[in-house]
Structure formats: C-alpha cells, structure tokens
Amino acid sequence: MSNKQWPDLKKEMDKVSVPMDKLDSIIANTINEKRTKTSKKKVVFYSLSAAVLGLGVFIGSASVSPAMAKIASNIPIIGNFFNDSWDEGLRIAGEIGLTQVVGQSSKDNGITLTMNEFFYDGTRLTFGYTQESLSATGQIEHPTIEVNGKEINFISSYSGEFVTPQKYKGTMDITPTEELPEEFDIKLRIDAVDLIPGKWEFNFPVKQSNEVTVIRPQEVKTIEGAEVEISSLKVGPAGTDLNVKVVKDEGNNKLDPYSLNFYVIDDNGNVLDTVTASGIGDTKNGKEIAKLNFLYAPLKEGSKKVRVVPYTIPMSEKRLEEVIIPLDEQTLPFTVDQGEFGKVLVTKIIHEQDKIVMYFDVESDVIVDDKSSRNSLWLKDANGKSLFTLAERIEGNTFKQEFAASKKKGLQIKTYKFPKPIMYEEFKIDIPN
C-alpha cells in the first residue's frame, strides 16, 4: 500500500507539557481511556510505560542547580549523545559506536536547533538534537520528513532533559508507516519551536549502521474473533521491533485492535521494557485492518527463543479506585492491595538525605515488566506533590524504587486497584544464531 493511501499524520499529535502534580490523574485516565472510532482510518500512539517515563524525564530534569548547569554546559554533546540515555537500546548503540554524527545547526528567531547524532539500524530511527535559546523548553513541532525527496508519514515520540536553562538535549523517535531502505537521503523541516514560527531545516544521508536479524513468523492466532499475525520481529543491539497485523470484521466489537499489547519474554524469563507503541489502520470491504508496531529494549545476548504474549487491559466506565497509605502510620513490612492485579509487599524504606528508596515484592500471578509499570506506585509528600519514578527489578518479583524527597514526615504511598490483564495464547519464536 502506498503512503498516499495512509492518512496525513503531519498534525496527529500535539505535545503538551503537563505539571507533575497531575500525573496521578494522567495514569488513571490513560488506563480508563475508551478508544472510540472516529473515522474509517485510525492512527494512535500509546504506551503507558513509555509515556510516563518520557514525562518523568522531561519534567523531572527541568530544574538544574547552578553548579550542575556550569559543569553540564562544558560537556561535549556531539559524539556521545546517547551514551547516558535512560533508553537502554540507545545507550548500548552509543557505547559501541553505532550512532552517526550529523552536527548541523539551523537558527531562526533567536532559536538554534542542532541535529547532533542519529541512530538507524532497521529496528528504530532516533535523532538526538539540542535546542538553544534565551529560555529553552524543548518543545518542537512535529517535523516534515522527506526520504529520497518523497514526504513520508510517521509517528514520533520525544523525551529529553535540560543541560542548562538555555540548552535542552532531546531525542526524537520516528516510527514510519512503511519500512525504510537501508540507505537514503533525509530532509527534516521544523516549522515551530515553543509556539514560535520559523524554519529549521536539516539535510544529511542516513545509512543503516549494522545488520539486524529479521524474523517473519507469519503465524496467525485467533483472538476474540480477530486474526492476529506477527508480521515481523526485528532483533538488533539497540532494540527489538515487533510488527503485528490484526484483521477483523467491521462489526466485531469483541476486540479493539489498538487495545492489544504484547509482553516479549526471553528464554531466561526477562520481560523486555516497552519503549514506544503505535498503530495505524484502515477499513476495506467490511474488514478492519490494523498494523501495530512495538519497540522494546534489546534482547539479551545469547537469547535463543522469545515468547510473545498478547494481552488487553479490561476497560470500565468507572474510575479506578484509589489506594492511599500514610507511611507515618505503617510498620514494615506492610501490604498494598492493588485489587485484581494482586498485592505489593513493601519490605524496606530507606531515608537518605535527598531521596527515599523503597523495596517491595509484587505478589501476583500477572506478568510484571522490569519497571513494574502496569502496577505503578508513587509517593505524595506533605504538600500533596506527586513523586514518581519507574521501579527497577532486582531479582524475581522484587523491585527497588527511588524518589527524590528530603522530608520524611507526611508521606503517602499512592496507587490504584488495577484490573487484571486478559491474557491470550502466546506466540513462540526461535531466534536464529
């Protein structure tokens, strides 16, 4: 299918800065969201763990001490842009030298954008850029992109951090609606930064940095009357790319294709973190056809098999029930009830000078990813401010979570009673040597 048959995505996503104290409602609303069909062609971008993580990186890094800003301003950005990324795949790509330096700058209306580096290996296309202005915010308009002189449709996601109040270091992940060639010339045009109109253009060649393993199982399973096919699984050092095709009758309301998620689990039981997820679809001859794309963290070296487990999160017209536990009143260990999802046993809380470290065990038969993102916990301080970070798996279902907080009194653990995911028959895929 040609790009002309896809909807124009140039304005499909508006980037909105959201205060951290609204994060709890964002999570609740995201989980409770009902995806409605507004037209015969659909475009969605979704990934709770990735969205929350990106929000935390963007807002949590906005305040920089003068001393740290002075040090950071002297750190060279070109050449090691992705080396300290929160994204494991980009960090690996940077450390082993798979990224490619661009170093092009464009200035308009007092704002300088620099395209520093990019990474492209067939599983992902990611750009590293900096924005410099009197008061940088990191907000850029969804760009126009041409590949070999032809405009392409794509979905994008963003994250980043402030190096100084005047310099923002960001990453932009691009998910095209069609596969790109191994080599091509790219042209990016950005028409607005921080709502300030202008023209910032970049032109440079792109070449796939290394070979990726492409597996095309083309295995089909029936889920709620829909045909679900894994079109491809691409395995590279910087990421694992899963493409899924869903075909169902237009009148079949049992399954919304865009509500499908997938756990990818290696042969050692490691659950890969989700980086981004997107979907695009059309309706033809009474059939709704959806193409879903998921980008995960890299597979561990030596993995020989993966399990791809489809699941959905049950939706309800009711809001999720809040769970709030004042820490001042608790004696360790104590249990946090998350409803159908299971329970969390908080085993240890360490108060350090500028942070609080919490250890907990997830007591559930549900598959839990390495960030425990589907059953998130966060703290609220005495002033009602939400403190949120993703957890880190230590071993098994034991996790550690760190919160930037200096006050010990008046803290509350907050979470929700989450629905239990509905699991479907898994796909088993062999990874060739």
pTM of the full structure: 0.72
Asked if 324 contacts 413 with a C-beta cutoff of 8 angstroms, the reply is: yes
CATH number of 387's domain: 2.60.40
Distance, in Å, from the CA atom of 105 to the CA atom of 316, rounded to the nearest integer, reads 48
Task: Please report where in the chains the tokens 């993966």 appear, as a residue.
Answer: 306
In three-state secondary structure terms, 31 is: helix
SS (H, E, C) 43-107: EEECCHHHHHHHHHHHHHCCCCCHHHHHHHHCCCCCCCCCCCCCCHHHHHHHHCCCCEEEEEEEE
Dihedral over alpha carbons 374, 375, 376, 378 (to 10 degrees): 160
Residues 170 and 57 in one domain: yes
Contacts of residue 28, defined as CB under 8 A and 6 or more positions apart, other chains included, come to: 319, 320, 416
Taking each helix axis as running N to C, give the angle between helix 48-60 and helix 23-32, from 0 to 180 degrees, rounded to the nearest 10: 160
**Is position 111 within any domain?**
yes
What are the tokens at 170?
């960001």
**Is position 41 within any domain?**
no
Asked if 401 contacts 358 with a C-beta cutoff of 8 angstroms, the reply is: yes
CATH number of 192's domain: 2.60.40.1630
Each residue's pLDDT, cut to its tens digit, for the chain (433 residues) gives 333 333 333 333 333 333 333 344 434 444 333 333 333 344 444 433 333 333 322 222 333 333 333 333 333 444 578 887 878 888 888 888 888 999 999 999 999 999 999 999 877 899 999 999 988 777 888 899 999 999 998 888 888 888 888 999 999 988 888 889 989 999 999 999 888 899 999 999 999 887 789 999 988 999 999 999 999 999 998 889 999 999 999 989 999 999 999 999 999 999 998 888 888 888 999 999 999 999 999 998 889 999 999 999 988 778 899 999 999 989 999 999 999 999 999 999 999 888 999 999 999 999 998 889 889 999 998 888 888 888 999 999 999 999 988 788 899 999 999 999 999 999 999 999 7
* Amino acid (1-letter code) at residue 2: S
Residues 73 and 222 in one domain: no
Q: How far is CA 46 from CA 13, 23, 180, 294, 303, in A?
A: 11, 16, 22, 10, 27
Q: How far is CA 175 from CA 39, 122, 224, 251, 294, in A?
A: 22, 11, 28, 29, 10
**Is position 184 within any domain?**
yes
Residues 12 and 153 in one domain: yes
Residues 149 and 9 in one domain: yes
**Is position 40 within any domain?**
no
Domain span including residue 347: 322-416
What are the tokens at 80?
């090691």
